[in-house]
């Protein structure tokens, strides 16, 4: 199973949008790679409709969505057509899933990414989410069981948080959302610690020498998408 900080394992796969070479086809983009247990299941259907509705928001964050299950291509196609033609959820209808859904009948990719959790199911992938940066490095991993649909506000918050931390060289406190104050890196010398505690570093305020924060207004994040 790959870990945070590892290069995303590469593979070639058949998808509902044609063949892909992962992650090479997505160089320069963030990727949210996620698995679901099975086609034609209600929780997965609700999730795919939500991903599809949010795809433009992820696109504004320079992010591509890629789904996976251990079902075959024709099952995928039939299920996605059923979603568009028949399913209504939260007032959404005629929802078209345009991002690729990987066929993984052999479970080779799912096993490569640790998506098969035998204690949960040996024949279905759990609801795994891998956040992969533009250099192809895994930056965060979230797992959900078969019975629990994902929190999409949190998925988007994680993505925005990773991008914010990278761009501004900061860390983010518990429950952070865009517009809230951020944590500056710890002081690397006694002198810097003293200056911060004395209020000499612009816009930085400290709770103690190791816990200092600063404002990061929402407009400085240059985000076109809001948290839903």
**DSSP H stretches of helix in the chain:** 42-60, 73-86, 108-112, 152-168, 190-197
What is the predicted pLDDT for the residue at 185?
A: 87
Segment among 31-45, 60-74, 135-149, 194-208 with least mean pLDDT: 194-208
Mean pLDDT of the chain: 93
What is the predicted pLDDT for the residue at 14?
A: 98
Residue 190's Cβ-count burial label (10 Å; 0-12, 13-18, 19+) is exposed
In the chain the domains, ranked by start, together with CATH numbers, are: 11-150 (3.40.30.10), 169-221 (3.30.1020.10)
* Model pTM score: 0.92
Residue 127 counted as an annotated binding residue: yes
Summarize pLDDT for 53-62 with one digit per residue, the tens: 999 999 999 9
Q: Which residues contact 179 (CB under 8 A, 6 or more apart)?
A: 216, 217, 218
Mean pLDDT computed over 18-47 = 97
At residue 173 the predicted structure's pLDDT band, cuts being 50, 70 and 90, is: very high
Summarize pLDDT for 132-146 with one digit per residue, the tens: 999 999 999 999 999
Mean pLDDT computed over 199-215 = 88
At residue 199 the predicted structure's pLDDT band, cuts being 50, 70 and 90, is: confident
For residue 214, the surrounding DSSP H or E stretch is strand 211-214
Q: Which residues are catalytic?
A: 44
Q: How far apart are CA 212 and CA 2, in angstroms?
A: 33
What is the predicted pLDDT for the residue at 223?
A: 55
Summarize pLDDT for 79-122 with one digit per residue, the tens: 999 999 999 999 999 999 999 999 999 999 999 999 999 999 99
Contact 89, 47 (CB under 8 A): no
Q: N- to C-terminal Cα distance for the chain?
A: 31
């Amino acid at each position: 199973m790959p870990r945070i900080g590892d290069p995303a394992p590469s593979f070639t796969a058949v998808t509902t949008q044609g063949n892909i070479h992962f992650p090479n086809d997505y160089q320069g983009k963030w990727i949210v790679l996620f698995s679901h247990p099975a086609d034609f299941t209600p929780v997965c259907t609700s999730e795919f409709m939500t991903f599809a509705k949010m795809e433009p928001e992820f696109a504004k964050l320079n992010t591509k969505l890629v789904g996976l299950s251990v079902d075959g291509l024709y099952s995928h196609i039939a299920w996605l057509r059923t979603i568009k033609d028949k399913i209504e959820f939260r007032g959404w209808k005629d929802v078209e899933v345009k991002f690729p859904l990987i066929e993984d009948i052999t479970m080779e990719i799912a096993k490569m990414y640790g998506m098969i959790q035998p204690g949960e199911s040996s024949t279905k992938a759990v609801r795994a989410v891998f956040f992969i940066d533009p250099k192809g490095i895994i930056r965060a991993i979230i797992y959900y069981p078969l019975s629990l649909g994902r929190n999409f506000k949190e998925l988007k918050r994680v993505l925005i948080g990773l991008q914010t931390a990278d761009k501004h060289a900061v860390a983010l406190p518990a429950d952070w959302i865009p517009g809230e104050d951020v944590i500056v890196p710890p002081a690397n010398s006694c002198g810097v610690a003293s200056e911060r505690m004395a209020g000499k570093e612009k816009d930085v305020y400290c709770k103690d020498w190791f816990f200092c924060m600063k404002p990061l207004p929402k407009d400085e994040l240059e985000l076109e998408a809001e948290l839903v």
